[in-house]
């Protein structure tokens, strides 16, 4: 038997063998998943979220430029973006107040950036919420899908995020559970079939090896391990007598590549049996 470990990021993984694996003609070979580990899955694609920081001083409103978050984000990366823009925004507002020849509030000059929080709160193993707090008011220019993914009701923030106010999301918002099912495909296993579109026999270069089901939210810094209770061996493609490399793709139930995963470790078992099939 041969054990194979593949490490990578995102949805495409590949291992190339310095010394190819040669397969005997009098043997039958099959491949199975031994174990898979996934980390940093709690990411989602933030779309068209635009906002400004603002304060009211001496009946005058001072606002920063419009900041945009439009990319794949985790809770941790979102917090970094908000803090980076907050630091830039505070300098911007202070400059505008000075130009207007008014007094800069001491609280603004000594603002504690750690007061900006995006934290995950757990009340049980499977119940989690996101709490958001900002030291300066956030005016929403375009909500995009930000509130939907983080589980905040638009009615609660129609006037923006108020300073020093804790906003709590719905239970297990989408950003904590980006996928429920994950298909592991390889380029060396025999054809698998799925009735995508109108064709019941569509297949491609990467065939289905294993399906993972997730029933719990994903948390930052936590690795999730899939260890099959019973190994399912899939035959290799007909005619393969040498394995120089193995490609692995991670897909959802719609056959689309899954991009929400940052770190992946996969263990495969290549098994051989005597006699021709």
Q: Kindly state whether residues 248 and 205 are assigned to the same domain.
A: yes
**Domain-terminating residue out of 140, 157, 176:** 176
CB 140 within 8 A of CB 157: yes
Q: Kindly state whether residues 94 and 185 are assigned to the same domain.
A: no
Q: Kindly state whether residues 104 and 87 are assigned to the same domain.
A: yes
CB 72 within 8 A of CB 45: yes
Of 7-21, 45-59, 75-89, 196-210, minimum mean pLDDT range:
196-210
Is the confidence at residue 32, as pLDDT, over 90?
A: yes
Q: What is the mean pLDDT of residues 15-35?
A: 91
Phi/psi region, residue 112 (left: phi>0; alpha: psi -120 to 50; beta: rest), is: beta
Q: Is 154 helix (H, G, I), strand (E, B) or coil?
A: helix
Nearest one of 187, 182, 185 to 16, comparing CA atoms: 187
Q: What is the mean pLDDT of residues 65-71?
A: 94
Element (H, E) at 73: strand 72-74
**Domain-terminating residue out of 146, 176, 206:** 176
pLDDT category at 276 given cuts 50, 70, 90 is very low
How far separated are the first and last CA of the chain, in Å rounded? 18
Residue of higher predicted confidence among 42 and 19: 19
Q: What is the CATH number of the domain that holds 14?
A: 2.60.120.1100
Q: What is the mean pLDDT of residues 226-252?
A: 89
The whole domain housing 64 covers 45-176
Is the confidence at residue 224, as pLDDT, over 70?
A: yes
Of 21-35, 166-180, 251-265, minimum mean pLDDT range:
251-265
**Domain-terminating residue out of 158, 176, 194:** 176
pTM equals 0.70
Q: Kindly state whether residues 228 and 157 are assigned to the same domain.
A: no
Q: Kindly state whether residues 22 and 97 are assigned to the same domain.
A: no
Is the confidence at residue 9, as pLDDT, over 90?
A: no
Q: Kindly state whether residues 191 and 161 are assigned to the same domain.
A: no
Q: Kindly state whether residues 117 and 35 are assigned to the same domain.
A: no
User: What per-residue string of b and e applies to 115-143 under the rule 16 or more CB within 10 Å gives b?
Assistant: ebebebeeeeeeebbbebbbbbbbbbeeb
Mean of pLDDT over the chain: 86
Is the confidence at residue 10, as pLDDT, over 80?
A: no
Q: Kindly state whether residues 125 and 23 are assigned to the same domain.
A: no
| Total number of domains constituting the chain | 2
Q: Kindly state whether residues 152 and 244 are assigned to the same domain.
A: no
pLDDT recorded at residue 199: 52
User: What per-residue string of b and e applies to 187-216 under the rule 16 or more CB within 10 Å gives b?
Assistant: bbbeeeeeeeeeeeeeeeebbbbbebebee
Is the confidence at residue 158, as pLDDT, over 50?
A: yes
**pLDDT tens digits, 84-136:** 999 999 999 999 999 998 889 988 989 999 999 999 888 877 788 999 999 99
Q: Kindly state whether residues 14 and 84 are assigned to the same domain.
A: no
Q: Kindly state whether residues 166 and 184 are assigned to the same domain.
A: no
pLDDT recorded at residue 245: 93
Q: Kindly state whether residues 152 and 56 are assigned to the same domain.
A: yes
Q: What is the distance between the alpha carbons of residues 166 and 245, in angstroms, rounded to a whole number?
A: 51
């Amino acid at each position: 038997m041969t054990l194979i470990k593949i490490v990578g990021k995102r949805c495409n993984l590949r291992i190339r063998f310095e010394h190819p694996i040669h397969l005997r003609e009098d043997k039958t070979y099959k491949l199975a998943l031994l174990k898979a580990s996934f980390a940093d899955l709690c990411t989602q694609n933030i779309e068209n979220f635009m906002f400004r920081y603002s304060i009211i001083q001496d009946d005058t409103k001072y606002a920063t430029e419009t900041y945009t978050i439009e990319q794949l984000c985790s809770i941790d990366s979102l917090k970094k973006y908000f803090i980076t823009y907050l630091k830039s925004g505070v300098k911007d507002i202070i400059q505008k107040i000075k130009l207007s020849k008014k007094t800069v509030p001491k609280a603004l000059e000594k603002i504690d950036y750690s007061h900006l929080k995006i934290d995950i709160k757990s009340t049980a193993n499977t119940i989690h919420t996101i709490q958001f707090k900002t030291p300066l008011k956030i005016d929403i220019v375009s909500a995009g899908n930000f509130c939907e993914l983080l589980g905040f009701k638009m009615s609660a923030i129609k006037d923006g995020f108020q300073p020093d106010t804790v906003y709590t999301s719905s239970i297990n918002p989408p950003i904590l559970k980006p996928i429920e099912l994950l298909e592991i495909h390889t380029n060396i296993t025999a054809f698998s079939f799925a009735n995508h579109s109108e064709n019941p026999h569509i297949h491609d270069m990467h065939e289905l090896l294993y399906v993972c089901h997730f029933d719990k939210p994903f948390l930052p810094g936590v690795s999730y391990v899939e260890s099959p209770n019973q190994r399912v061996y899939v035959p290799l493609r007909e005619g393969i007598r040498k394995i120089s490399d193995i490609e692995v793709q991670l897909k959802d139930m719609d056959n689309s590549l899954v991009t929400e995963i940052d770190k992946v470790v996969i263990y495969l078992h290549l098994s051989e049996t005597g006699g021709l099939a």
